[in-house]
Amino acid sequence: MIATGLDRLLADPARLAGRRFGLLAHGASLTADLVPAHRAFAAAGYRPARLFGPEHGYYGVEQDMVASADALDPWTGAEIVSLYGDDEASLLPSPRAFVGLDLLLIDLQDVGARYYTYAATAVWAAEAAHAAGCEVWVLDRPNPLGGEVVEGNLPRPGFASFVGAFRLPVRHGLTLGELVRLEAARRGWTEAPEVIPLAGWRRDATWPALGRPWLAPSPNLPSFEAALVYPGLCLLEATELSEGRGTTRPFLLFGAPGVDPLALAAALEPARRLGVRAVPTYFRPQFQKHAGAVCGGVELAVTEPERVAGYRLGVEVLAALKCTAPRSFAWRSAPYEFVADRPAIDLLSGGDDLRRALDGGGDLGSWLDGWAADEAEFREERRAALLYPEEGG
């Protein structure tokens, strides 16, 4: 059984004596006994002076790209400050938000994919807190996808956004504490945040090996299987096809009106080598894309979790949809995380290579082959930030 940074701090809560501290956390910030972090601190006699909520809000009640409002916590009475508003400027916390605090605790359950926005919020909040003269501690949590596998290309200059804030492969294999350490070094911070590390975590451990129940870190990742395919199936957010939001099985279920389930499943038969099976089906999303309409598509069954290469799977899904459902396939036209001047697929994939290849203007194979050099480069750079040894290290 592992102990998270939260568990370890609560084993010695006197470290918080005399501190006026804030807590950046969310609904998955739980103790080993499944007590929310802010309630656990209050029960130990150290009530947070201020709570900060990332995208989806402190309790994870908002859907993606829906602003969350400031509020009061009904359990402790603490002020909740939203770090996700209704414009791009709201994503960068102001040092003013940390005035009156001398310590910021960051306890967010990341999922190990470049797009997942909690890492950006953690780094930017730490930077703003330091600017306000506030010490920062990161209470580390495991990467649910493990810490060994690195997958995907590094983003090119000019394609940074909230869903690609840092130069990482799509599956980076870092814990949040390690990621913050990496960015602190890159940014030349004079004082890096203290990371309270995990106890008992190995880099080869994925979520099922941890002995903890899965509680969704955001509204549309209800299971470990959904998180496992998310590094690739999130690419569907950049299309007009449904990625399964508005159903009970987002990212595992996808399609659109006009998609032939049998043709799509057949086109995805080669994905069996990636540890999944595509089951033809129909579904009706209750909100977001194609709400109320019957969609043809497939549901992914994860058969061999250890073989899932989520990002490559997502690329193959896009290619299969483009081939079998050309009339239903279209790139997203609406702004994505407040960005309107670049296609959403370019923001997610870190360049225009994937889009151009799928549209017939580039070489998909060469782009995929190029991942290996980026993965090797990143493995070398990340080594200095690691808190938990690599195999043989």
Q: Which of 174, 150, 153, 179 is nearest to 309 (CA)?
A: 150
CATH superfamily name and code, 5-219+381-385: Uncharacterised protein PF07075, DUF1343 (3.40.50.12170)
What are the residue ranges of CATH 3.90.1150.140 in the chain?
Answer: 224-330
Q: Which of 276, 295, 277 is nearest to 285 (CA)?
A: 295
Contacts of 246 (CB under 8 A, 6+ apart): 285, 286, 287, 288, 289, 291
Name the pTM for this structure.
Answer: 0.96
Mean pLDDT score, 281-299: 97
Mean pLDDT score, 232-260: 98
**Between these two residues, 24 and 88, which has the higher pLDDT value?**
24
Q: Tell me what percent of the residues of the chain surpass a pLDDT of 90.
A: 94
Q: Tell me what percent of the residues of the chain surpass a pLDDT of 70.
A: 99
Distances from the Cα of 305 to the Cα of 24, 173, 310, angstroms: 31, 16, 10
CATH topology of domain 224-330: Aspartate Aminotransferase, domain 1 (3.90.1150)
Does residue 270 surpass a pLDDT of 90?
A: yes
Condensed to tens digits (0 to 9), the pLDDT of residues 158-200 reads 999 999 999 999 999 999 999 999 999 999 998 889 999 999 9
- The DSSP element (H or E) to which 53 belongs, if any, is strand 50-53
Length of the chain: 393
- The confidence score (pLDDT) of residue 392 equals 62
- The confidence score (pLDDT) of residue 25 equals 98
Condensed to tens digits (0 to 9), the pLDDT of residues 27-42 reads 999 999 999 999 999 9
What are the residue ranges of CATH 3.40.50.12170 in the chain?
Answer: 5-219+381-385
**Between these two residues, 350 and 61, which has the higher pLDDT value?**
350
Are 284 and 294 in contact, with CB atoms under 8 Å apart?
Answer: yes
Distances from the Cα of 151 to the Cα of 158, 217, 264, 299, 307, angstroms: 21, 22, 25, 23, 12
Mean pLDDT score, 284-291: 97
